[in-house]
Amino acid sequence: MKSDSIQTTICQERKKDPIEILHSGQLVKVCAPMVRYSKLAFRTLVRRYSCDLCYTPMIVAADFVRSVKARDSEFTTNQGDCPLIVQFAANDARLLSDAACIVCPYANGIDINCGCPQRWAMAEGYGACLINKPELVQDMVKQVRNQVENPRFSISIKIRIHDDLTRTVDFCRKAEATGVNWITVHGRTVEERHQPVHYDAIKIIKENMSIPVIANGDIRSLKEAENMWQITRTDGVMVARGLLANPAMFAGYEQTPLQCVQDWVDIALELGTPFISFHQHLMYMMEKITSRQEKRLFNALSSTSAVLDYLTDHYGI
C-alpha cells in the first residue's frame, strides 16, 4: 500500500464527504470500480473532468489482509485522491473488517461487491452470488461498523438485480437496516450482459429506499447520465466503459479532447504508470478520434518512448 506523504486523516478532514455529496440533490457523477483500470492515475484524470466520486478496482479482501505484496500492488493513493471508496470482494466478515481497518485512514469508505457476474468470483463466493446471501452481507456490514472507529467511514454495496425484483427490494431493505450508507444498482440480472438496462427496476428500488441509490449500466455520455438520473430518480450515476473511452465525459465532452490525452500522459508519467496500462488507456481514449490505419499503427507500439513520439508527431502532444 503506497501513499505520497499522505496525512492519515486527509479524506475525513476534507469537506468531500460522499454521504453528504449523495444527499445534495444534484447529479453525483461516479467512476466505477474497474479491474486494472480505475487505479490512481486514471482516478486523478477523471477528477479533473467533473467526476465527483471514484472507486478503486475490486480488491480481494483475503489477499489484501494476508499479503503486503497485494496491498502494495492493489492500493495506491495520494492527498488529491478524494473522495475515495475502496471496493472489496469478500465472503468473510472478519477478513473484510480487517481490510476496512487497513484502508480506513486513506479512504472515505468501502464498498462490498455484490454484483460481479464473472464465474471465478461467484465460484469463490464473491460478487453477484451475495445478492442471494443477505444474512452474510448483513454480518459483514455489522463487523465493519463494529471494527472501524471513524463514524463517518461509509459502507456501501454494489448489486445486480434478481429476476424477481421483490427479492432485490427485500435484500436492499435488509442492507439499509444494517447500516449501509448507499446502494449502487447495476440494472441487469446476473445472466444479462448486453441486454438493455432495466431503468424501471432501478427506479422501483430507489422508491423503496431511504438511503441514496446510484444507478449504473451502459452510460456513454453526460446526456445519457442525466437521462438515467432523471428517469430513475436516483442520487447519482456510475459509469465504467464510457469513462474509459472518454475520461472527460462528465465535463460534457462528446469524445476525448486532446487536452485530456495530454493530461493523461502527464499524470501517467508523473505517477510511474506501467507501460501496458499507459498504452491501454490511450487505446480506449483515442478509439473515436483515430482512423482504422492509425489504430493499427498506434496499438502495435511497444514502448513508452514510441507512444510519446507518435503522439508528438501526430497530435503535437
- Cα torsion 130, 131, 133, 139 to 10°: value is 80
195 labelled binding-site residue:
no
257 labelled binding-site residue:
no
Rounded CA-CA distance 107/84 in Å is 5
Cis peptide before 83 (omega within 30 of 0): yes
Rounded CA-CA distance 234/72 in Å is 35
Rounded CA-CA distance 79/134 in Å is 35
Cell 441509490 found at = 213
33 labelled binding-site residue:
yes
87 labelled binding-site residue:
yes
32 labelled binding-site residue:
no
292 labelled binding-site residue:
no
**In Å, how far are 33, 89, 128, 249 from 120, measured between CA atoms?**
17, 12, 11, 31
**Is 82 a catalytic site residue?**
no
Q: Other CB atoms closer than 10 Å to residue 20's CB: what's the count? A: 11
Rounded CA-CA distance 78/287 in Å is 30
Q: From the candidates 54, 82, 116, 260, give the one annotated as an active-site residue.
A: 116
35 labelled binding-site residue:
yes
DSSP at 238: E
Rounded CA-CA distance 252/169 in Å is 33
- Catalytic (active-site) positions: 116
- Residues of the binding site for FMN: 33-35, 87, 186, 240-241
- Residues of the binding site: 33-35, 87, 186, 240-241
